[in-house]
Structure 1
């Protein structure tokens, strides 16, 4: 269902020792949304992302995925249903690209080789790479190609949710634009819910169906690209938008 809430933060706070990173955070993310999160360094962007798949636990409050309190769920099963892509994603260097992408499907398909083979061949095309790449090793690929393989691997378990933490930050500008276009196409094609962390306001506005602007662990503004650009709610957002002009 398009308007169904798939991720919900209910009054979540996160403390590191006495330092409060996230303060009384409330957020709903709907099915099929492409939410981009932008903010200053240390604003809690990555902390939010890691709490969605249980890599970090909240100090207080509750996080729900598909209506279930994730603290009461099997964390391994939770993460299998959530794709996770980070900057310079660590592919297995001793495995071919085929085996890298097949790693998760083989776990879920119980070694059904034909089913896995078809899944891998579909995914390599989904991320815009040639099937010939499947026999190569990560060291033989460019940074942009490796990033695409990382996205394919994250999609391999057919997740409903895809978390992306500054995934294009380590590539050159031309490659970055190509990857941005690719992830937009994948989102439109697969209708997967994407939560995308970036420090680039232009990238946030280009990709997001909704943008969340964070500052010091709190939400400055949440809105569509047009709302953020044309009706900035605070001075912090105004200054951020000026970068695009």
Structure 2
């Protein structure tokens, strides 16, 4: 099966790094197939989150190549790339406005201008699937708990049908119960809908999905 995403001999150091000192990422090689559930592990500062940011073109490697469906990500328009590969940050970002305003925000972007926004009925149904059945579309998003915001951010990401979900420590700011809800949602999306998931963690999280993959970064 052809690879959906590949990182080949990727080297990266942040600007201002001490000359001659080892790069944050050196000779990194990573392959992901469609439908994979991959957990990237490593200590703080090992470069786990940087890998996700490189894939999304928030940063560019000093050398090496990153391919999506065999095409260098640098040759793909950023808005198109991020419509296919969606990044969910460690701390969920909500704009001022209602829950509905936040969920429909991606449809205001150029990459999604030809997509039909979901109806209120569909959004209500999805809220229940994300354990947010007590949340109203009209209530202010900023007043939700951190755990509710993280589930809402994940739901928002899925509304545009991305092929790959990049999750940057998605439960690090959550209590145990909220974290379990988020992991349950992510695993269901992979197992039932075939979503390709790449999640970063420094915990001992073990996904309850068939054949999960693990990639360990060492300092």
TM tier, smaller: 0.7 to 0.9
Any gaps of 5 or more consecutive residues in structure 1? 217-245
Question: What are the Cα deviations for residues 45-87 of structure 1, in whole angstroms up to 9, with x where unaligned?
Answer: 0111101111110100000011110111111211122221112
Aligned position for 2:36: 33
Give the Cα–Cα distance (whole angstroms) in 2 for the partners of residues 35 and 75 of structure 1: 23
For residue 203 of structure 2, the aligned residue among 197, 200, 203 is 200
Give the Cα–Cα distance (whole angstroms) in 1 for the partners of residues 77 and 70 of structure 2: 15
For residue 102 of structure 2, the aligned residue among 89, 100, 103 is 100
Give the Cα–Cα distance (whole angstroms) in 2 for the partners of residues 122 and 160 of structure 1: 22
- Name the structure, 1 or 2, with higher relative contact order (CA <8 Å, separation 6+): 2
Q: Does 1:13 pair with 2:11?
A: yes
Aligned position for 2:213: 210
Aligned position for 1:155: 158
Correspondence list, 1:76-225, <5 A: 76-92=79-95, 94-107=96-109, 108-110=112-114, 112=116, 115=118, 117=120, 120-130=123-133, 132-201=135-204, 203-204=205-206, 206=208, 209-216=212-219
| Bigger strand share | 1
If the length of structure 2 is used for normalisation, what is the TM-score?
A: 0.87
| Bigger helix share | 1
Aligned-pair CA distance for 1:190: 2.0
Q: CA RMSD in A?
A: 2.1
Give the Cα–Cα distance (whole angstroms) in 2 for the partners of residues 116 and 81 of structure 1: 22
Give the 3-state SS of the residue equivalent to 1:43 in structure 2: coil
Give the 3-state SS of the residue equivalent to 2:87 in structure 1: strand
Aligned-pair CA distance for 1:111: 7.6
Aligned-pair CA distance for 1:182: 2.0
Q: How many residues align?
A: 211
Aligned-pair CA distance for 1:185: 1.4
Aligned residues of 1:126 and 1:152 also touching (Cα < 8 A): no
If the length of structure 1 is used for normalisation, what is the TM-score?
A: 0.78
Give the 3-state SS of the residue equivalent to 1:24 in structure 2: strand
Give the 3-state SS of the residue equivalent to 1:151 in structure 2: helix
Correspondence list, 1:55-94, <5 A: 55-92=58-95, 94=96
Give the Cα–Cα distance (whole angstroms) in 2 for the partners of residues 119 and 68 of structure 1: 34
For residue 52 of structure 2, the aligned residue among 24, 49, 52 is 49
Aligned residues of 1:205 and 1:211 also touching (Cα < 8 A): no
Give the Cα–Cα distance (whole angstroms) in 2 for the partners of residues 54 and 35 of structure 1: 20
Q: Structure 1 residues 13-22 or 58-67, which shifts more? A: 13-22
Aligned residues of 1:121 and 1:131 also touching (Cα < 8 A): no
